[in-house]
Amino acid sequence: MENVSNAVQLESIKSFQSTISKCENALAQMTQKGANTTLIMKRLQALRIGLALLEYVWNQKPHHYTQEDLAEARHVLTGLFPSIENSYAKSKAGSPQRTLLERRMKSLELAVQAIDDLSNG
């Protein structure tokens, strides 16, 4: 995995934590409304795995995920890029929204890289 500054590590972990929190809130609302929660549950699991892998690589925190878990998480996380990139393209330069999206994309890229590195031994 590439050398990543402490600042980027911290931003990436915070970005994942924020995204997980948003997903948990969305899941709670969808559950209340009786909506189908399959997709958001898959995303939430993938985000948790992504965060765990970053913490594993940077902070040596153990994780309990299997190769299958990692492969599924990688698939789901990479599937998030098009919508984030689309939102990014629509955001205004210098806006807080654009900064948030930049950090989210970077954190997802790093998580996918961590999964790849771990999967390839």
Domain membership flag for residue 95: yes
Domain presence at residue 111? yes
For residue 120, name the pLDDT band (cuts at 50, 70, 90). confident
Is 76 among the domain residues?
Answer: yes
What is the spatial distance between Cα 60 and Cα 46, in angstroms, rounded to a whole number?
19
Q: Model pTM?
A: 0.93
At 3 the pLDDT is: 86
Instruction: Confirm whether 11 is domain-assigned.
Output: yes
- Using one digit for the tens of pLDDT, what is the confidence trace for 95-117? 999 999 999 999 999 999 999 99
Total count of domains within the chain: 1
In a domain, 91, yes or no: yes
Question: Domain of 23?
Answer: 6-119
Whether the pLDDT of residue 121 is over 90: the answer is no
Burial class (CB in 10 A: 0-12, 13-18, 19+), 101: buried
> CA-to-CA distance for 66 and 62, rounded, in angstroms?
12
In terms of Cα–Cα distance, which of 27, 7, 3 is closest to 15? Answer: 7
pLDDT in tens, 44-73: 999 999 999 999 999 999 999 999 999 999
In a domain, 47, yes or no: yes
1 belongs to a structural domain: no
**Residue 86 domain flag:** yes
